[in-house]
Amino acid sequence: MVECGKPVIYLYPEVAMDVNVQVAPNGGFTVTDPEYPEGGWNVTAQPDSTLTTAGAVYPYLFWEGNGVNYEIPKEGFVVSKAGVLDFLGGTLERLGLNKKERADFIEFWHPRMQEAPYYFVTFVNQEVFDSLAPLTVSPRPDKVIRVFMDYQPLDHPVDVKPMEIVTPQRTGFTVVEWGGALH
């Protein structure tokens, strides 16, 4: 089982629109914001990802929960503590996150990666993320980018096979979600 930490969902429609978002972590939710109602979140999304629901405004949809039948990928990267910030910035850009999304991700995860001298860092592929927490968005987006990081502290560098990263292209109505494994 993996505890999914701070997955957040950004919606970028080309024009303002009403959107239904359903996510179903296979181990259940532990927290959501806004509260996750039966049938999912119903929001009005703006092109800048400003979301409105029940009179409140949100920058994104937030959830945490658990995923079962999870195995940490073997491919990834070994990064020194001093190199974590630069690594995250560059790698997240290659994974398709924009400047704001990268800043939000780094604000949450960078402080958690400052205890050990090195880290094994990996990102699960979208199919694995989809099995841990299926995501359904209606109307259907043109592009969905889901980034889920896992990391392990290391006392010293180890050899790992680097994972291949293919940079997605944002087109039309784009949904972006990022999160990671809490340890």
Q: Where are the domains of the chain?
A: 2-182
Share of the chain above pLDDT 90, in %: 95
- The predicted pLDDT at position 124 comes to 95
**Are 178 and 5 a contacting pair, CB within 8 Å?**
no
Neighbours of 171 (CB within 10 A): 10
Long-range contacts of 70-74 (CB under 8 A, 24+ apart): 70/1, 70/2, 70/128, 70/132, 70/181, 72/122, 72/150, 72/152, 72/181, 73/122, 73/123, 73/124, 73/125, 73/128, 73/150, 73/163, 74/122, 74/160, 74/161
Taking the whole predicted model, whether its pTM rises above 0.85 is answered as yes
Task: Work out the pLDDT band at 113, boundaries 50, 70, 90.
Answer: very high
Least trusted range by pLDDT, from 3-7, 13-17, 42-46, 56-60: 3-7
Query: How far is the C-alpha of 176 from the C-alpha of 183, rounded, in Å?
Result: 23
Instruction: Calculate the average pLDDT of the chain.
Output: 97
pLDDT of 183 strictly over 90: no
